[in-house]
Amino acid sequence: MPHNTDFTITKLESFHLAFKDSSSYWEGYRADEGDRVTERFEFKQGWQTVYARYVEAPLLKVTLSDGTIGWGEANCSIGPEVLCVITDNIIEQMVVGQEFGDPMALWDFLYDSQRGRGYSSGFWLDALAALDIGVWDALGRREQLPVAAMISDAPRTEIPVYLSGVRRNTLDERVEHVNRWRDTGLRGAKIFLTGDWEAGTAELDGLKAGAPELEQWMVDTLWMCDEERAVRAKKEYGERGVRFFECPLQPEDLSGHQRLAALPGAPIALGEHFRTRYQLEPWLDKPLALDVYQPDIGRTGISDFIKQRDMATAAGIPTTPHMGSGVSIFQAATLQCAAVSTPEFLQEFQGGLSDKLGDASDTAWQYDDGMFKLPDRPGIGADLSEAAIEPFIIRR
């Protein structure tokens, strides 16, 4: 890194945000199929993963010794208050007042501090990701450079995106939704399907017929196929030209993914459940278990994303960041990493989440004609008004 990356943190502040008056992550998708809902959480029919009933997010404010401020956010929609407790009661005492040569040194220091105790994933790594993003943001502001320009001498300046999820209740509503986005210049969309490949191919066929001008389709089954169904789904989706087939099997099933990736059909995309390069490494050994790597910046942070991207590149696997549940800070950090990732894939975009903060967030990332352009703004490219986020704060 040719830029000055030395820093000392003098203060950390965490905020748990909740958007109780807004729609959920699922935005009414298949809402008439008997979802199980609690006060904070919901389970969608056909998937095992719990989701927040309304959007929640943890934000982290980082202040450096020269007064520069950066903002970080993790992809931690379930229990973000846990991340806040970890930051306030553990991490702050470990890092405040200590000098670090660069953000990677900070990430490694905190990872090493708990790796012998088995804290190699989960909330501990989510907290590291939020802190890491905040530090990169602050350093970019201090150096008057976008984060992407600190990582690469030649970052991409234009980032075409695909819509993550077509979250409407009926097929007709989903077709209408896709076509409205297509009219803005959007080139692709990803749909969430269950492990039922027959129902999945029918859904995909219906969407393709209703939105024939959309160039690319991606399919995500959220780990809900058994191996037999995944083999059939991979074949069927491949025959339909699906750009990639995401999260087919359970996230721990390395050998199953290796067998699946070797078969003909749609390319296999994975990565959002990895937080560290140590978790990724065995998946890049031969035989390869994936064709497309999707690191989630709200879980890897920017520092370990760089190392994971380089590992995937060395294995011949392209990288395109995953974009999960988060507001403008997490999304801005992800787009900075997309600017230094493989250009052959569209970048995921969470259209329903990008403006949750409204006027509280001044972001230089503006969607236009199916893409984002790398903004000429230092840091990750998004600013927050602390006064304006106050209505969303339920814990600080």
Q: What is the pLDDT of residues 19-53, one digit of tens each?
A: 887 667 777 788 777 789 999 999 988 999 999 98
pLDDT of 344 > 90? The answer is: yes
Full set of structural domains in the chain with CATH? 7-149 (3.30.390.10), 153-385 (3.20.20.120)
Close Cβ partners of 346 (under 8 Å, ≥ 6 residues apart): 160, 161, 162, 187, 188, 216, 243, 320
Region for residue 34 given its phi and psi (left: phi exceeds 0; alpha: psi -120 to 50; beta: otherwise): left
Rounded to two decimals, what is the model's pTM? Answer: 0.96
Q: What pLDDT is stored for residue 182 in this prediction?
A: 97
* Orientation of helix 297-314 relative to helix 328-338, angle to 10°: 10
What are 157-197's pLDDT values in tens digits? 999 999 999 989 999 999 999 999 999 999 999 999 999 99
Query: Is-contact 308 297, C-beta < 8 A?
Result: no
The average confidence (pLDDT) of the chain is 94
Q: Is residue 1 over pLDDT 80?
A: no
- pLDDT at residue 353, as a whole number: 73
pLDDT at position 27 is: 76
* pLDDT > 70? residue 103: yes
DSSP-based three-state secondary structure for 28: coil
| Two structure tokens written together for 188 | 């692709």
- Residues 187-209: pLDDT tens digits? 999 999 999 999 999 999 999 99
pLDDT band per the 50, 70, 90 thresholds, residue 135: very high
pLDDT above 70: percentage of residues in the chain: 99
Please write the tens of the pLDDT for every residue from 267-318.
Answer: 999 999 999 999 999 999 999 999 999 999 999 999 999 999 999 999 999 9
3-state SS string for 145-196:
CEHHHHHCCCCCCEEEEEEECCCCCCHHHHHHHHHHHHCCCCCEEEEECCCC
- The pLDDT value recorded for residue 23 is 65
